[in-house]
């Protein structure tokens, strides 16, 4: 008996929850890239303002820390954006490991987006520290930032951060829904139906074809294959020696005629 052939499993239909989650990851990645680009575009102006304001004070040189923190945040945002794009592609293919990684990376993206939402308060960092009368006034630093930075920079960063934050939260929720869980669940071997041309099921294993004696529409026959109601045969089987005793059912011989 030939062994049944092994067939590659067919592709599972992707639920809309996973599709929308992937799209939301792409959207969040694009918005995070825009936010990082705004940070790099305004980095020179911010550095100049803090350098001039801190000159001759106990905070002189502290602008390097602010610039470094801004660069680090922007680079981290770019790395998270790349990771979100890759995870969006893998999630669409049903990779469960990618879904778990998405929850981790998206959580970091939520934190970064939250920092972007509150980034306006970060611009005056350090302006109110140090000895009294030795540091520039925080209100003055904030006024210069608002006056010299492009007017579009803060609204763009704020809008992109808020939308990216909402998109990441929605993607995390969509990937945790029951429909998504079923898509990412590993299917057992042999769960897929056989393709045309595969091995036929063994007798008695397919419910569509009843076995002998199980369907009332088909009569049951003895093991020898003799239909019911057939009288037993008087002929001996081949190879049986003749018996000395005549058969009892033979009719009497006719008497001889006179």
Transcribe 184-218 into DSSP letters.
HSPPPTT-SPPPTT-PPPPTTT-TTSPPTTTSTTS
At residue 125, the pLDDT reads 47
Contact 32, 112 (CB under 8 A): yes
What are the tokens at 28?
Answer: 């969040």
Where is pLDDT greater, at 119 or 241? 241
At residue 227, the pLDDT reads 56
At residue 86, the pLDDT reads 95
At residue 128, the pLDDT reads 46
At residue 172, the pLDDT reads 92
Contacts for 54 with CB less than 8 Å, ≥ 6 apart: 60, 61, 62, 63, 126, 135, 136
Label residue 145 by pLDDT band (50, 70, 90). Answer: confident
Contacts for 75 with CB less than 8 Å, ≥ 6 apart: 36
d(CA 183, CA 187): 9
Label residue 159 by pLDDT band (50, 70, 90). Answer: very high
Q: Where are the domains of the chain?
A: 16-184
Contact 10, 194 (CB under 8 A): no
Q: Average pLDDT for residues 99-106, to the nearest whole number?
A: 89
Q: Average pLDDT for residues 143-157, to the nearest whole number?
A: 89
Half-sphere exposure of 62 (CA within 13 A, CB side): 19
158: closest CA among 124, 117, 110? 117
152: closest CA among 11, 42, 32? 42
At residue 20, the pLDDT reads 95
Contact 174, 28 (CB under 8 A): no
Contact 35, 161 (CB under 8 A): yes
Percent of the chain with pLDDT over 90: 27
Q: Average pLDDT for residues 84-97, to the nearest whole number?
A: 92
SS3 (DSSP) at 160: helix
At residue 199, the pLDDT reads 46
Label residue 90 by pLDDT band (50, 70, 90). Answer: very high
Q: Is 203 left (phi over 0), alpha (psi -120 to 50) or beta?
A: beta
Which DSSP symbol is given to 246? P
How do residues 39-70 score in pLDDT, each as one tens digit?
Answer: 999 998 888 888 888 887 877 777 888 888 88
Residues in the chain, overall count = 258
What are the tokens at 209?
Answer: 């074809």
Contacts for 166 with CB less than 8 Å, ≥ 6 apart: none
pTM of this structure: 0.62
Q: Is 213 left (phi over 0), alpha (psi -120 to 50) or beta?
A: left
Instruction: Identify the weakest region by mean pLDDT among 135-139, 178-182, 200-204.
Output: 200-204
d(CA 210, CA 208): 7
How do residues 223-235 score in pLDDT, each as one tens digit?
Answer: 555 555 656 555 6
At residue 63, the pLDDT reads 81
- The pair phi, psi for residue 231, each rounded to 5°, is -65, 150
Answer whether residue 206 shows pLDDT above 80: no
């Amino acid at each position: 008996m030939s062994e049944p052939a092994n067939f590659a499993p067919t592709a599972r239909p992707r639920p809309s929850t996973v599709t929308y989650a992937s799209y939301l990851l792409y959207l969040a990645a694009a918005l995070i890239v825009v936010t990082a680009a705004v940070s790099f575009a305004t980095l020179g102006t911010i550095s100049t303002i803090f350098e001039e304001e801190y000159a001759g004070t106990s905070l002189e040189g502290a602008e390097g820390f602010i610039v470094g923190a801004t660069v680090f945040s922007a680079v981290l945002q770019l790395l998270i954006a790349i990771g979100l794009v890759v995870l969006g592609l893998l999630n669409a293919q049903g990779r469960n490991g990618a879904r778990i990684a998405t929850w981790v990376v998206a959580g970091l993206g939520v934190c970064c987006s939250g920092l972007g939402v509150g980034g306006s308060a970060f611009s005056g960092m350090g302006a109110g520290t140090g000895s009294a009368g030795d540091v520039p006034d925080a209100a003055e630093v904030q006024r210069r930032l608002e006056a010299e930075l492009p007017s579009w920079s803060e609204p763009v960063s704020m809008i992109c951060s808020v939308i990216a934050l909402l998109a990441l939260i929605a993607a995390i929720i969509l990937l945790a829904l029951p429909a998504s869980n079923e898509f990412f669940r590993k299917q057992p071997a042999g769960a897929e139906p056989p393709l045309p041309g595969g091995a036929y099921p063994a007798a008695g294993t397919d419910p569509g074809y009843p076995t002998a004696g199980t369907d009332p529409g088909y009569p049951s026959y003895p093991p020898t294959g003799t239909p019911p109601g057939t009288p037993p045969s008087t002929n001996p089987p081949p190879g049986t020696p003749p018996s000395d005793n005549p058969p009892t059912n033979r009719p009497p011989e006719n008497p001889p005629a006179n």
